[in-house]
Amino acid sequence: MGPTNADIIAMLGKIDLKLNDMDARFKVLEGLERKMDNFEKELKKTRFPGEKSTGWKIK
């Protein structure tokens, strides 16, 4: 016989927990991405007009 309804519900519960964990991790990554974007903007501001380029490419 196949899995019971209780088995299926238990599996779905485990999947839900894993998805919630992944969602939390994605939120952390989104926060880091915002911080990096802000850092890059601030870094661009520190270059003086007329300064020679270092060859680095910043978005």
Interval 35-51: pLDDT, tens: 999 998 888 888 766 55
By CB atoms closer than 10 A (0-12, 13-18, 19+), residue 11 is: exposed
pLDDT at 28 over 90: yes
Overall pTM surpassing 0.75 (yes/no):
no
The per-residue pLDDT for range 2-27, each reduced to its tens digit, is: 999 999 999 999 999 999 999 999 99
Report CA torsion sign: 38, 42, 44, 45: positive
Q: How far apart are CA 32 and CA 14, in angstroms?
A: 28
At residue 43, the pLDDT reads 85
Q: How far apart are CA 38 and CA 56, in angstroms?
A: 17
Report CA torsion sign: 37, 38, 39, 42: positive
